[in-house]
Amino acid sequence: MLDPFFIPKSIAVIGASSNPRKLGYAVLKNLVDGGYAANHSVYPINPRADKILELPVFPTVNSVPDSIDLAVIVIPYPYVPDVLRECGEKQIPAAIVISAGFREAGNVGLERELELIQIAKEYDIRLIGPNCLGVIDTYTPLNASFAAGTPPSGPMSFMSQSGALGTAVLDIALAGRLGLSKFVSLGNKADVDEIDLLLAWQDDPNTRVIMIYSEGMSNGQKFIQVAREVTRKKPVVAIKSGVTQSGSRAVSSHTGSLAGSEQAYQAAFSQAGVIRVNSMDELFAASAAIGYQPSLEGDRIAIITNAGGPGILATDALERAGLSLARFTNETIQKLVQFLPDAASAANPVDVLGDALSDRYQFAIDTVADDANVDGLLVLLTPQAMTEIDQTATAVGELSFKTEKPVLGCFMGEKQVKSGIDILTAYNVPNYSFPVQAAKAFKAMADYRLIRSRPLPEFVQFEVDRESVRDMFNRVRSEDRLSIGDAEARGILQAYGLRIPRSEVAETPEQAIEIASELGYPVVLKIASPDILHKTDVGGVKVGLSNAEDVRDAFELMMYRAQRYVPEARLWGCLVQEMVPSGGSEVLVGMNRDPQFGPLVTFGLGGIYVEALKDVTFRVAPFSREEAHEMLEEIRARALLDGVRGKPPADKEAIIDTLLRIGQLVLDFPEIVELDINPLIVYQQNQGAIAIDMRLILKEELA
């Protein structure tokens, strides 16, 4: 429960100061000016002061006669541990540590931070920070931060891993166009992190949209799991920074070289239902629309404008964002035609013309809003000679109160339109300086509609032979190996229910001939030895053997050569393997383990599509059948799976099945750090897929 951070009954400010240049003064002043102190107890703690900002000062928390819900700690780092212990003795359930000098200051700082965590655990204190700006809840009202003021109330709650970015956001809010419900500067996330706040805010009636600025997640798997549930109730918009840099720290493996933090975040946010934006502008654009306007129940947008040019820009922007222009009913068109001048356009975008006064705007928007084919309205305005800016803004605002559809404004300009935008803001209609931003906002609303309506993912559990894989890994480790291929890898594939070429090890030529006739000719013969890694180098692979004589010849030649070239190798005999049918397509299924989100499963078409075109897609395991299916739809070359140039459609179900089973394998065995099916051959519909081979690498040490 994080309530003590947002609606505490009393607060102690440890390190309160009467020096206006100190943070301990700024925090106390915000508690007073922000309105908290008027109705709650605030206890400044300072051994060397009597009164600060008219409030009586106590030397320690222990000397405060009443109980304390929240401690805000603003003292130099050396004193923080002891003070936190005092808070524990006083049974204070929550503390915001603003002080810096912890994990962000290197190894010594990290040790200090671990000490804090230890103390917090011992006394059961929840902690925000250290190294943070503080916490704001505009509804309590509570401003327990050293921000430059208290922002106006609104529907958005923002958690920021960067306090500095928080100051910029709060400064924008202070200018009046943006209202916040809660603001939390997460700092070093010693205790409270994104997951805790998602859980705390999911049912908060004052929060309509959750905004996240994140630089990294400590528990990616749990984040996905929690956000998946939260985003069904409440929209979450997030920006992740540091993607390109981290992306360059590429992992070494084949699959790994394609993946990076960027891809992991893309997959994780998509699976979690988090609306991802790429800039702070988009974060605001999307959150304002979702926070202030009703939900968008379809993707058909109506544009009303007093000029053609901006109408075309808006059309372009909406189409590019994947939304569609509403097609009005005949009734709407007739009504518009009757009322509007001849030169006006009654089709979407509705052009009310440059000489439109507010009454013409009002008629047009009211008429269009009533149309059942319209899901949302975008009202454009350019400040022309006759334009009644303020009255038009009022008409738009009034409409937004009447209709259940979202209405966004795009009053273009700055000086003349300012008063109009202020009116829109008062009516909770977000305004965008140009159509592109408004289109992105509508896009985020449309995305959220899809997120809200998608089914909860079901994670299938296949019946597999987990034990045999466990045993094999133990055996491999006992032999000091970490890399697995060949027969062992095929054993794993089989244990997890994937089809592999039928094969059996023969110890003698006679046995090989017997197995071959069982499998049916032609067959493949491969030398079977745990000590020969590069079989082809010693002539240890022969394909297309079509009769008993060929099998005998190949067997004996391989034995002879192996003994001659690798005399120290243990020889188990030869593997006799069926030749897989021709005509299939190679696809790639792989996995590498992302440090933040865990097992990242890759899919792509094989060969040049992966190597030259980098046409691959990712999901974090576990994922559902639907999510596996999405992977097949996300690659650029997706049309190839549907069959082109006379090729029949591929067996998509077989690919999905493979992805899901591999997802299960890598969750069952967290010690697998990397894996590649090499290749998976997919046949036409209902003909399945065969995993020819796999390469797999185990973690060096078991955690």
Q: Which is nearer to a second copy, 345 or 547 (CB)?
A: 345
- Rounded to whole angstroms, the maximal C-alpha distance in the chain is 103
Burial environment of residue 445 by CB neighbours within 10 A (0 to 12, 13 to 18, 19 or more): buried
- Can you tell me the distance from the alpha carbon of 534 to that of 541, in angstroms, rounded to the nearest whole number? 10
Could you say whether residue 172 binds a second copy (CB under 8 A)? yes
Task: Give the chain's radius of gyration (CA, Å).
Answer: 32
For a second copy, the binding residues in 318-357 under the rule CB under 8 A are 319-320, 343, 354
Q: Which two tokens stand for residue 280?
A: 């702070």
Q: DSSP states of 638-682 as a string?
A: GGGGG--TTPPPB-HHHHHHHHHHHHHHHHH-TTEEEEEEEEEEE
Could you say whether residue 579 binds a second copy (CB under 8 A)? no
Provide the minimum distance between the beta carbon of 611 and a second copy in the complex, in angstroms, as a whole number: 6
Q: Which is nearer to a second copy, 324 or 511 (CB)?
A: 324
Provide the minimum distance between the beta carbon of 215 and a second copy in the complex, in angstroms, as a whole number: 6
- Can you tell me the distance from the alpha carbon of 229 to that of 143, in angstroms, rounded to the nearest whole number? 29
Could you say whether residue 108 binds a second copy (CB under 8 A)? no
Q: Which two tokens stand for residue 199?
A: 């859980």
For a second copy, the binding residues in 664-683 under the rule CB under 8 A are none
Bridging pattern class, strands 153-160 and 209-214: parallel
Among 3, 33, 215, 653, binds a second copy (CB under 8 A): 215
Provide the minimum distance between the beta carbon of 155 and a second copy in the complex, in angstroms, as a whole number: 19
Question: DSSP code of 355?
Answer: T
Handedness of CA 368, 369, 370, 373 (dihedral sign): positive
Could you say whether residue 161 binds a second copy (CB under 8 A)? yes
Provide the minimum distance between the beta carbon of 226 and a second copy in the complex, in angstroms, as a whole number: 23
Total residues binding a second copy (CB under 8 A)? 77
Q: Which is nearer to a second copy, 4 or 129 (CB)?
A: 129
Could you say whether residue 308 binds a second copy (CB under 8 A)? yes
Among 15, 187, 310, 622, binds a second copy (CB under 8 A): 310
Among 138, 140, 162, 403, binds a second copy (CB under 8 A): 162
Given its phi and psi angles, is residue 467 left (phi above 0), alpha (psi -120 to 50 degrees) or beta? alpha
Provide the minimum distance between the beta carbon of 279 and a second copy in the complex, in angstroms, as a whole number: 4
Provide the minimum distance between the beta carbon of 625 and a second copy in the complex, in angstroms, as a whole number: 25
- Can you tell me the distance from the alpha carbon of 151 to that of 324, in angstroms, rounded to the nearest whole number? 36
Among 144, 417, 492, 621, binds a second copy (CB under 8 A): 417
**Three state DSSP letters for 471-520:** HHHHHHHHCCCCEECHHHHHHHHHHCCCCCCCEEEECCHHHHHHHHHHHC
For a second copy, the binding residues in 635-664 under the rule CB under 8 A are 636-637, 639-640, 644-645
For a second copy, the binding residues in 436-455 under the rule CB under 8 A are 436-437
Could you say whether residue 527 binds a second copy (CB under 8 A)? no
Backbone angles phi, psi at 222, to 5 degrees: -70, -35
Could you say whether residue 307 binds a second copy (CB under 8 A)? yes
Q: Which two tokens stand for residue 678?
A: 């090499």
Stretch that binds a second copy, among 29-37, 117-125, 434-442, 673-681 (CB under 8 A): 434-442
Question: DSSP code of 81?
Answer: H
Q: Which of 97, 175, 174 has its CA nearest to residue 129?
A: 97
For residues 340 and 360, the answer to whether their CB atoms sit within 8 Å is yes
Could you say whether residue 99 binds a second copy (CB under 8 A)? no
Could you say whether residue 168 binds a second copy (CB under 8 A)? yes
Q: Which of 199, 214, 196, 224 has its CA nearest to residue 599?
A: 224
Q: Which is nearer to a second copy, 23 or 368 (CB)?
A: 23
Provide the minimum distance between the beta carbon of 659 and a second copy in the complex, in angstroms, as a whole number: 22
Q: Which is nearer to a second copy, 409 or 598 (CB)?
A: 409
Q: Which is nearer to a second copy, 167 or 295 (CB)?
A: 167
Binding string, 492-511, against a second copy, x = CB under 8 A?
--------------------
For a second copy, the binding residues in 242-301 under the rule CB under 8 A are 242-245, 278-281
Burial environment of residue 378 by CB neighbours within 10 A (0 to 12, 13 to 18, 19 or more): buried
For a second copy, the binding residues in 360-389 under the rule CB under 8 A are 382-386
Provide the minimum distance between the beta carbon of 160 and a second copy in the complex, in angstroms, as a whole number: 8
- The amino acid that residue 422 corresponds to is D
Q: Which is nearer to a second copy, 338 or 416 (CB)?
A: 416
Stretch that binds a second copy, among 194-202, 409-417, 474-482, 667-675 (CB under 8 A): 409-417
For a second copy, the binding residues in 609-628 under the rule CB under 8 A are 611-613
Q: Which is nearer to a second copy, 355 or 458 (CB)?
A: 355
Among 89, 111, 171, 203, binds a second copy (CB under 8 A): 171
What number of other Cβ atoms are within 10 A of residue 453's Cβ? 8
Could you say whether residue 413 binds a second copy (CB under 8 A)? yes
Q: Which of 181, 99, 172 has its CA nearest to residue 132?
A: 99
Could you say whether residue 306 binds a second copy (CB under 8 A)? yes
- Can you tell me the distance from the alpha carbon of 360 to that of 351, in angstroms, rounded to the nearest whole number? 10
Instruction: Calculate ∠ Cα 398-399-403, nearest 5°.
Output: 130
Binding string, 20-49, against a second copy, x = CB under 8 A?
-x-x--x-----------------------
